[in-house]
Amino acid sequence: MEKKIRLHDKSFRMFIPNEDIEKAIDAVADRLNNDYADATDEDPVVMLCTLNGAVIFAAELLKRIQFPLVLKACKLSSYVGTSSTGVVKTEVPLPSRLEGKRVLIVEDIVDTGCTIVAMVDQLKERKAKDIRVCTLLLKKEVYKKDVKLDYVAMEIPNRFIVGFGLDYDELGRNIKDIYVLDE
Ligand code: IMP
Ligand code: MG
């Protein structure tokens, strides 16, 4: 029988099993280990985790990353319910001292791209020397911005999903597989 869950007023069905997510993360982590192999303790990569959605993805990456890094976090939000408002609110600001640093943004999902554009703009203002984006998921049909998405673990169609850190009005983050809204 197909696995289904209910969160608030909506039902969701199984979409991406945990094993597939983990395999996609393995592949991205291999690329990161290769591309950042020259990082040193004196010049570590700054991994900037976007709260709350990217916490599980960031933790899974951390378990696999072998180069020196420091972990930072920020929180921006644009989603209410199951759609983007297009207005990005900063709830926990980005760290201030990033001048000359290599920053790797770790996102759960890129949809319209408003959030990622706002983050990259703020990192440029802070004079980070290299800014790259690593996202677990990308809604490719929706994303029309110019910011390069350097590392994309998985592409998905334009559907609302939950699980593996992603929420529907704060619920569903603790589900280990990814579920899609059942319409
Ligand atoms: P963007 O600014 O439109 O690219 O939206 C990015 C943010 O919206 C993500 O970091 C998520 O927090 C949230 N988001 C986008 N799509 C989904 C989804 O399908 N499920 C849950 N949250 C989503
Ligand atoms: Mg998010």
* CATH assignment at residue 101: 3.40.50.2020
Question: Which residue's structure tokens are 């980005």?
Answer: 94
User: Is residue 25 pLDDT above 70, yes or no?
Assistant: yes
- Does 155 or 87 have the greater pLDDT score? 155
Residue 119 CA to ligand 2 centre (angstroms): 11
| Domain region containing 134 | 25-149
Contact of 61 with 25, CB cutoff 8 Å:
yes
Ligand 1 mutation pick, 79, 92, 114, 162, max ligand atoms within 8 A of CB:
79
**Residue 173 falls within a domain, yes or no?**
no
**Residue 155 falls within a domain, yes or no?**
no
Q: Residue 55 and residue 73: Cα distance in Å, rounded?
A: 9
Q: In this predicted structure, what is the pLDDT of residue 96?
A: 94
Amino acid (1-letter code) at residue 6: R
pLDDT tens digits, 49-100 = 999 999 999 999 999 999 999 999 999 988 788 888 889 999 999 999 999 9
Residue 169 CA to ligand 1 centre (angstroms): 11
The DSSP call for residue 160 is -
Q: In this predicted structure, what is the pLDDT of residue 81?
A: 85
For residue 98, the SS3 value is coil
Q: How many structural domains are present in the chain? A: 1
**Residue 5 falls within a domain, yes or no?**
no
**Residue 127 falls within a domain, yes or no?**
yes
Cβ(60) – ligand 1 distance below 6 Å? no
**Residue 168 falls within a domain, yes or no?**
no
Residue 15 CA to ligand 1 centre (angstroms): 17
**Residue 177 falls within a domain, yes or no?**
no
Contact of 78 with 114, CB cutoff 8 Å:
yes
Cβ(152) – ligand 1 distance below 6 Å? no
**Residue 10 falls within a domain, yes or no?**
no
Residue with CA at minimum distance from ligand 1 atom 13: 79
pLDDT tens digits, 101-130 = 999 999 999 999 999 999 999 999 999 999
* Partner residues linked to 90 by β-bridges: 76
- pLDDT band for position 1 (50/70/90)? low
**Residue 158 falls within a domain, yes or no?**
no
Catalytic residues: 111
Contact of 57 with 106, CB cutoff 8 Å:
yes
Contact of 108 with 136, CB cutoff 8 Å:
yes
pLDDT tens digits, 28-44 = 999 999 999 999 999 99
| CB-neighbour burial class of residue 171 (10 A; exposed 0-12, middle 13-18, buried 19+) | middle
Over the chain, what is the mean pLDDT? 96
